[in-house]
């Protein structure tokens, strides 16, 4: 990557993010009420509405009236942590623990504050007060281990990881990972190698373990082992984006990143790991608290920035997410992913032209990569909902074509690219090319239910190859039995084959799974008509019209309401 390209992309991202902020996504300053009750209620509403910054202001105003109210202190502490106000959180935690010495969030906050100040013994004492339930069953042993490492008590540190944890959850890999990092931090290379080896056990070790162990190998003159580890993981991964820089570096035999140099960095890593685990567990607020607390301990932590960005993105706080991503945009491990997210969020903010420029700059920056072009194709394809020869489909197809041209030999993980291009071909009226790409996607990934369904349904809808379509869609339903669209396809192919009893069974099931889909309701109406249930058929067609089907389907449904289905 040349310096000029890097500079150009950096400037482009900076300009794009400025435009996001100017677009009005930043919350206005909250209007503070004159009563503690009013501010408390406003804070509660803001907290429930995913606006911790406003909630912190409201609770702060309420606390001026009731400074020792335990409920206010706890809520104020939570939103202060969630909004990244670490110092303010520590002050609230001190007051809260003064009233409730066993308060978990208060002690966790003060333990982090102690660690930041280098008071690791005091931090450990605070952490020992945490109840070992919920996430603390995992987090407490990790943080205690790092607090002990900060005191140079490495045997006790790793012992706490060997005996601690939640017996109901397999966290051995995470604990072994941190034992490895602690041993390396303590200069105990042999013990570190053993711990990292434990973290790498199994067919699919965690990415974090692969990165940590691989870099340990590099730092200890074992570049060949590191390269082999990175390569094997990359070959298995559907999206090896985070290892691309490590693999390139080790192949060039360049110096790896430095290891952890302070125990607080290890604590930040532990908070990041648990926050990442909670990300997919509907625990967004707690995950945000962990991500922000990790940044309080280690402000230059790009992984935590990306985690925070993804959590904000999940709440549709696009501009705030992009601010978090931008802070990681230059990092060699996380930066590329951050830029892809920035582009997607710019599109969500109505800044599609800027998103396109970011993705095109990325595609030029790394001409061997395909992900920016795939994201560009997806962006254009999302702009149109109707079929037809529309320019957005042509732009999407151009991006997909450029991506495919960069692949020397398509691999199984590339099935989705051919599938995406097939959808663009089909929607723009080029069925022959769509069919070819769908067959290629199936060749790469024969058991992919989305492809089995799309191709099978398309054949059935055109009354083509019904004998092939039926087993394909049956297999898709086996793989994804709760997907209403795929169940609808199975009903539809049976309808085309004249298997009306089976068609009825699956169509009614599909409507239960997807009651608001106009096409599925329309299909059920067709089946009802064929089995002689005319009143129910008309009800389903009328319902389909109310659900706003695609425009070209409207006259067809109206005709059926007037005349019914023609005799087959």
Domain annotation covers residue 108? no
Is residue 485 in some structural domain? yes
Domain check: are 504 and 441 in the same one? no
Q: Which domain holds residue 392?
A: 388-446
In terms of domains, do 438 and 457 share one?
A: no
Q: How many CB atoms lie within 10 A of CB 161?
A: 25
How many domains would you assign to the chain?
Answer: 2
In order, the DSSP letters of 322-379 are HHHHHTTTT-TTTHHHHHHHHHHHHHHTT-HHHHHHHHHHHHHH-TT--HHHHHHHHH
CATH number at residue 430: 1.25.40
- Closest by CA position to 122, among listed 114, 134, 113: 114
CATH number (domain holding residue 545):
1.25.40.10
Question: What pLDDT sits at residue 205?
Answer: 87
Residue 482: inside a domain: yes
**Domain-ending residue, one of 398, 429, 446:** 446
Please indicate, yes or no, whether residues 467 and 485 belong to a single structural domain of this protein.
yes
Using CA atoms, how far residue 366 sits from 9, 373, 408, in Å, is: 11, 11, 16
The verdict on 474 and 525 lying in the same domain is yes
Which residues of the chain have a pLDDT value below 70?
Answer: 1-30, 33-34, 163-170, 238-239, 281-282
Q: What is the pLDDT of residues 447-495, one digit of tens each?
A: 999 999 999 999 999 999 999 999 999 999 999 999 999 999 999 999 9
Listed residue (332, 277, 270, 338) closest to 298, CA to CA: 270
Give CA angle at 388 (386, 389), nearest 5°.
Answer: 135
Are residue 462 and residue 530 in the same domain, yes or no? yes
C-alpha 277/C-alpha 558 separation (Å) is 50
pLDDT for residue 239: 65
Q: Cβ(63)–Cβ(69) under 8 Å?
A: yes
CA distances for 402 relative to 6, 329, 352, 373, 398, angstroms: 21, 24, 20, 7, 6
- pLDDT for the residue 163: 65
Residue 156 lies in a domain: no
Give the list of residues 6+ apart from residue 478 with CB closer than 8 angstroms, or none: none
Please check whether residue 190 is in contact with residue 174, taking contact to mean a CB–CB distance below 8 angstroms. no
Tell me what pLDDT residue 27 has.
46
The pLDDT, as a whole number, for residue 528 is: 97
Residues 438 and 503 placed together within one structural domain of the fold: no
Task: Please state, in angstroms and rounded to a whole number, the distance separating the CA atoms of residues 430 and 220.
Answer: 56
183 in any annotated domain: no
pLDDT of the residue at 281:
64
Please tell me the chain's helix, strand, coil percentages from 3-state DSSP, rounded to the nearest 5: 75, 0, 25
CB neighbour list of residue 300: distance below 8 Å, 6 or more residues apart: none
In a domain, 309, yes or no: no
The Cα 379–Cα 382 span in angstroms is 5
Domain assignment present for 130: no
């Amino acid at each position: 990557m040349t310096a000029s390209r890097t500079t150009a992309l950096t400037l482009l991202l900076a300009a794009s993010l400025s435009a996001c902020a100017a677009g009005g996504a930043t919350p206005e300053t909250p209007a503070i009420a004159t009563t503690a009750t009013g501010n408390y209620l406003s804070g509660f509403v803001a907290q429930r509405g995913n606006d911790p910054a406003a909630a912190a202001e409201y609770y702060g105003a309420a606390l001026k009236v009731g400074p020792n109210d335990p409920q206010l202190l706890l809520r104020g502490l939570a939103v202060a942590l969630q909004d990244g106000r670490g110092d303010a959180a520590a002050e609230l935690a001190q007051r809260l623990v003064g009233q409730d010495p066993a308060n978990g969030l208060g002690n966790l906050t003060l333990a982090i504050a102690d660690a930041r100040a280098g008071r690791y013994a005091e931090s450990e004492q605070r952490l020992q007060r945490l109840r070992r339930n919920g996430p603390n069953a995992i987090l407490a042993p990790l943080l205690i281990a790092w607090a002990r490492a900060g005191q140079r008590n490495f045997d006790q540190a790793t012992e706490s990881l060997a005996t601690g944890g939640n017996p109901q959850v397999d966290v051995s890999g995470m604990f072994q990972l941190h034992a490895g990092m602690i041993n390396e931090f303590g200069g105990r290379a042999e013990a570190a190698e053993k711990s990292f080896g434990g973290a790498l056990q199994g067919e699919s070790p965690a990415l974090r373990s692969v990165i940590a162990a691989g870099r340990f190998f590099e730092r200890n003159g074992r570049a060949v082992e590191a390269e082999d580890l990175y390569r094997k993981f990359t070959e298995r991964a559907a999206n090896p984006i985070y290892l691309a820089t490590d693999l390139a570096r080790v192949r060039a035999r360049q110096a790896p990143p430095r290891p952890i140099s302070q125990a607080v960095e290890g604590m930040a890593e532990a908070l990041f790991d648990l926050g990442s685990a909670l990300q997919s567990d509907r625990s967004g607020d707690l995950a945000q608290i962990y991500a922000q607390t990790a940044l309080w301990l280690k402000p230059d932590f790009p992984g935590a920035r990306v985690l925070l960005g993804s959590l904000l993105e999940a709440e549709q706080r696009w501009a705030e997410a992009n601010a978090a991503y931008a802070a990681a945009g230059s990092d060699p491990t996380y930066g590329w992913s951050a830029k892809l997210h920035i582009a997607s969020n710019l599109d969500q903010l109505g800044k599609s032209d800027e998103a396109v420029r970011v993705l095109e700059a990325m595609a030029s920056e790394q001409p061997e990569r395909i992900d920016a072009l795939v994201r560009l194709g997806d962006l254009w394809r999302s702009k149109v909902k109707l079929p037809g020869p529309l320019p957005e489909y042509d732009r999407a197809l151009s991006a997909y074509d450029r991506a495919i041209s960069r692949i020397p030999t398509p691999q199984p993980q590339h099935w989705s690219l051919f599938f995406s291009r097939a959808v663009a071909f089909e929607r723009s009226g080029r069925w022959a090319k769509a069919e070819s790409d769908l067959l290629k996607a199936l060749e790469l990934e024969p058991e992919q239910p989305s492809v089995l369904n799309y191709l099978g349904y398309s054949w059935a809808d055109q009354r083509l190859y019904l004998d092939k379509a039926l087993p394909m869609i049956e297999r898709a339903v086996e793989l994804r039995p709760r997907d209403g669209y795929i169940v609808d396809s199975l009903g539809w192919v049976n309808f085309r084959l004249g298997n009306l009893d089976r068609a009825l069974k699956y169509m009614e099931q599909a409507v239960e799974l997807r009651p608001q889909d106009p096409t599925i309701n329309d299909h059920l109406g067709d089946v009802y008509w064929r089995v002689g249930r005319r009143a129910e058929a008309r009800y389903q067609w009328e319902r389909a019209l109310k659900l706003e089907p695609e425009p070209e389907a409207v006259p067809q449904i109206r005709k059926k309401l007037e005349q019914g289905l023609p005799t087959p």
